[in-house]
Structure 1
C-alpha cells in the first residue's frame, strides 16, 4: 500500500508538471552561467552582497526549462477581411454625407422644389406679356358670276362660281397683349404662404442633416464596437482551443476523462458560434454605414479611428439648443401656420378679382390689287371684373378640407413636441446610465478574470473539475464582451445626447 500511494503521487506530480508546461504563466528563467558564478551587476547598479549558502558549487541545481505556450491553428482565428472602402476621417464622412447620402439629397431637392413653387406663386401677381401671330390664306371663295350681255348660261350650270386660288388673299395678323392683376387678393396671399413653405423645407433639411449625422456617427461607433467584439471573440476562441488541448493532454496522461474533453469541445463550439455571429454583425455594421453614406457594399473605419474625435466634430457642426427649438419642432409649427393660411386662401376664393389688359395689334393682306386690303393697326385697353358666384360647391369643399388639415397639424405638432422633449430627457439620462453600466461591467470583468485564473490554478492542482474550468472561461468571455460594448455605448450615448436637441445648420 505505501508503494501504491507513492506511485499515485508521482503520477499526479508528473501530470501537474506537464500542465504547467502548457500554459504561459511561468516566471522568466534566471540568468545562466557557470556553476558558482554570480550574476554580473548592470552598469550603475551595485553588486549584491554575498549570501552564504550551504549548497556546494558543484551540487548547484540546473535551471528549470521554460514552459512552452500551446500553439493552436484554426481558420476561424483569421481576422475579417477589410472592406473595399475605408473612411480616412470624420471630414471624409461629412463630405460623403453631402455628396452621396440619399435622404440628404432628397431634402436638398425639396428646398429647390419649394423655391420653385414660391416663384410660381409670385408670378400670379406680376404682369404677363403675350405675343400672338397668325397667317390666313383663303383657298377658295364663292361669289356671283356676271355673264357678258347676250350670252345665256348653259343648262345645269350652277349660278355661283369659285374664285381662282391664285386670286385668294393672304392675311397677316400680329398682336401683343399685356395683362396685369389689379385686384388679386388670393394671389397676393399665396406669395406669403409659398415663402413659408420654403422655410419649412429648409428646416426639414436642417433636421435631416441632424438625423444623418447621428446615423453616421452611430454606424461608425457600431463598427468600432463590432471590430472590438470580433477581436475579443478570437481571443476567446484561442483560449478555448488551448484549454481543449490541455484537456486532451491530461486525458493522454491518464489524469483526465473523456467527459472533460467533451466539455472542452462544447466550449470551443460555443466560442466558434459566438465568433461567427460577431463577424456577421461586423459586416452588417459596415454595410449599414455604406447605406447611410450612399455607397454600395461595405464601408469601414481605420484601426486608429478616434471616437472622441467624432464627438468633438459633431459638437463643432451642431449647436446645442432646447428641445422646443429643434428643427423638426420648428418645422411642425411652420406647417401649422401654412395649414391655417391654406384655410384663409380657401376663403379668398369667394373674393372678386380684377385684371387689366392692353392689346396692340396689326393686320395686313397680301395679294393682287383687287384683293389687297389696307394695312391697319390698333391699340386697346380694358379691365375685366370677375365675381365668383357658383362653381358647384368646390370652394365649400376646399374649406372643409383645409379645416380638417389645420386640426390634423395641431395634433401632429403636439406629438412632435412631446417626442422631442422625451428624446432629449432620455438622451441626457442615457449618458449617466451608460457610465454606470460601464463601471458595473468593468467590475464584473475583473471578477470573472480573477475567477478564471483561480479556477485554472485549481484545475492544475486537481481540486477543480473541467466543468468549472469551462464555465469560468465562458463567463470571462461574456464579461469581456459586455465591457467592450458598454465602453462604446458611453460614446454613443454622448453623441445621442448632443444630437437630441441640437441644431445642425
Structure 2
C-alpha cells in the first residue's frame, strides 16, 4: 500500500510539473517545427549554405566549360563603318576619297588546328567532375552535422525528462516531509532539506530546458530554417556494425572526401600529360565578304577574301616550361593529398570502430547503474517513511538516481554518435 501511494504521488507530481513547464513557455514563442531524421537531412542538403555554394560551384564549372569551348568553335562577327569627310579628296582630277564613305564586312574565323584550345576545353570538363566530387563531400559533411544535431536534440529531450522525474521525486519527498512536520511527527530540518533539494532539482530542470532550446535552434540553423526545429523520433541507427576489414574496404571506395581527392589527382595528372599541346602550332582559316561604297582603285564595291593563318610558338620567355613545372607540382600535391585522406579515412574507421565497442559497453553499465540507483532511491524512501533512517539518505539517493539517469542518457547519446561516426567513416552515411 505504501508503495502504491508513493507511486500515485509521484505520478501526480509529474502531471503537475508538466503543466507548470508548459505554462512557463512564453506565449509569443513559436513551437518548434518537428521533423524526422530523413527530412532533416534532406532539408539541410537543400538549404544549408555550404550545400548551396557547392551546387553553385558545379554550375560555375559548367559555365567555364562553355567559355573554354568557345575558343575552339567558329567565330562570326560583323562590322559596319560610316565615314564623313569635310570634302571629297581629289587627286589628278579624280575623286580619291569621297566625302561620304560606307563599308561593311562579315568575318568568319574557324580554328582548324588548335590543340592547346582543345586541351583547355577538356580540362574544363574535368573540373566539372572535380566540382561534383567536392560537392558530394560537402553534402556528406552537412548530412553528418545535421544528424549529429538531430541526435543532440533527442538526447536533450531525455535529459529534460530525467530532470523532470527527479523534480517530481523531490516534490513528493518535500510534500511528505512537510505533512510529517505539520502533523507533529516530523522535524523542521527534514522539511528544509527536502525543500532545498526540490529547489536544486527545479533549477537543473530549467537548465536542461535551456540546453534543449539551444539544441533545437542549432538544428534549425543547420537546416536553413528561420526558427527552432525539434526531433520527432528516436532516429534509430543500424544496430549492426561492419567488420573492421569490411569498413576499411568500404572507406577506400565509398568515402566522398577520398573520391574527391582522387578526382583532383586525375585532373592534375591530365594537365601534366597534356602539356605537349602548348608547343603545337595554331592554324585558323578566315573568310570575309565585304561591301565598299564608293569603291576605290584597290577595293571593289563587293568582294571577299579568305586566309589561312598559321601561328607557330617559337619563343615565349620560358612560359610553357614554367606552366609544365607548375602542373607537375600540382599533381604531386594532389597525390600527397590522396595519401593523407586515405590514411585519415583508415584512422577514422579504426577509432570509430573502437568507440562503438566501448560506447556500447559503457551504455550497458550506465543503464545498470541507473536501474540500481532507482532501486536504492525506493529503498531509501521506504526506510525513511518507516522511521529507520533520516532524509539525508533519501536526498543522497535522489541525487545519485538523477546523476545515474543523466549518465545513462549521455551514454546512450555517445553510443548513437559513435555509430554515426562509424557509418560516416566507412562511407555508408549518407546513403
Same fold, TM-score > 0.5, yes or no:
yes
1:364 paired residue among 282, 292, 310: 292
Q: State how far apart, in whole Å, the 2-side matches of 1:93 and 1:234 are.
A: 27
> What runs of 5+ residues in structure 1 fail to find an aligned partner?
1-16, 27-65, 147-162
> Which SS does the other structure have where 1:297 is aligned?
coil
> Which SS does the other structure have where 1:78 is aligned?
helix
Report what 2:78 is aligned to.
132
Q: State how far apart, in whole Å, the 2-side matches of 1:67 and 1:242 are.
A: 6
- CA pair 200-90 structure 1, distance change in 2 beyond 3 A: same
* Contact 1:22/1:246 (8 A) holds in 2: no
> Which SS does the other structure have where 1:502 is aligned?
coil
Report what 1:32 is aligned to.
none
Matches within 5 A, 1:348-363: 348-349=277-278, 351-363=279-291
Say if 2:144 is the partner of 1:214: yes
Task: Tell me the CA shift for residue 213 of structure 1.
Answer: 2.7
Say if 2:63 is the partner of 1:121: no
- CA pair 300-388 structure 1, distance change in 2 beyond 3 A: farther
Report what 2:399 is aligned to.
474
Matches within 5 A, 1:20-419: 24=6, 77-79=20-22, 84-124=31-71, 126-141=72-87, 168-182=99-113, 184-302=114-232, 305-308=233-236, 311=238, 322-325=250-253, 326-343=255-272, 348-349=277-278, 351-365=279-293, 375-391=301-317, 394-395=319-320, 397-399=322-324, 401-419=326-344
Q: State how far apart, in whole Å, the 2-side matches of 1:423 and 1:74 are.
A: 44
* Contact 2:282/2:310 (8 A) holds in 1: yes
Partner deviation per Cα, 1:104-146 (whole Å, 9 max, x = no partner): 222222222222223333333x232222212222231475799
- CA pair 72-431 structure 1, distance change in 2 beyond 3 A: closer
- CA pair 459-489 structure 1, distance change in 2 beyond 3 A: same
* Contact 1:223/1:282 (8 A) holds in 2: yes
Q: State how far apart, in whole Å, the 2-side matches of 1:205 and 1:280 are.
A: 35
Q: TM-score, normalised by structure 1?
A: 0.71
Measured on the aligned residues, the alpha-carbon RMSD in Å equals 3.8
Aligned length, in residue pairs: 416
Report what 1:34 is aligned to.
none
Report what 2:358 is aligned to.
433
Task: Tell me the CA shift for residue 194 of structure 1.
Answer: 2.4
1:497 paired residue among 387, 403, 422: 422
* Contact 2:17/2:164 (8 A) holds in 1: no
Report what 2:375 is aligned to.
450
* Contact 1:102/1:294 (8 A) holds in 2: yes
Report what 1:420 is aligned to.
345
> Which SS does the other structure have where 2:86 is aligned?
coil
Q: State how far apart, in whole Å, the 2-side matches of 1:388 and 1:461 are.
A: 106
Task: Tell me the CA shift for residue 428 of structure 1.
Answer: 2.7
> Which SS does the other structure have where 2:408 is aligned?
helix
> Which SS does the other structure have where 2:75 is aligned?
strand
Q: State how far apart, in whole Å, the 1-side matches of 2:10 and 2:371 are.
A: 26
Report what 1:62 is aligned to.
none
* Contact 2:58/2:128 (8 A) holds in 1: yes
* Contact 2:89/2:99 (8 A) holds in 1: no
Partner deviation per Cα, 1:322-341 (whole Å, 9 max, x = no partner): 11111111211221233344
- CA pair 473-136 structure 1, distance change in 2 beyond 3 A: same
> Which SS does the other structure have where 2:199 is aligned?
helix
Counting helix residues as a fraction of each chain, which structure ranks higher?
Answer: 2
Partner deviation per Cα, 1:161-218 (whole Å, 9 max, x = no partner): xx9x9x7222222122223141x33323333332322222222222233333323322
Q: State how far apart, in whole Å, the 1-side matches of 2:302 and 2:15 are.
A: 106
* Contact 2:41/2:147 (8 A) holds in 1: no
- CA pair 145-334 structure 1, distance change in 2 beyond 3 A: closer
Task: Tell me the CA shift for residue 253 of structure 1.
Answer: 4.5
Task: Tell me the CA shift for residue 468 of structure 1.
Answer: 1.6
Q: State how far apart, in whole Å, the 1-side matches of 2:7 and 2:313 are.
A: 99
- CA pair 405-374 structure 1, distance change in 2 beyond 3 A: closer
* Contact 2:115/2:282 (8 A) holds in 1: no
Q: Which has the larger radius of gyration?
A: 1
Q: State how far apart, in whole Å, the 1-side matches of 2:384 and 2:38 are.
A: 53
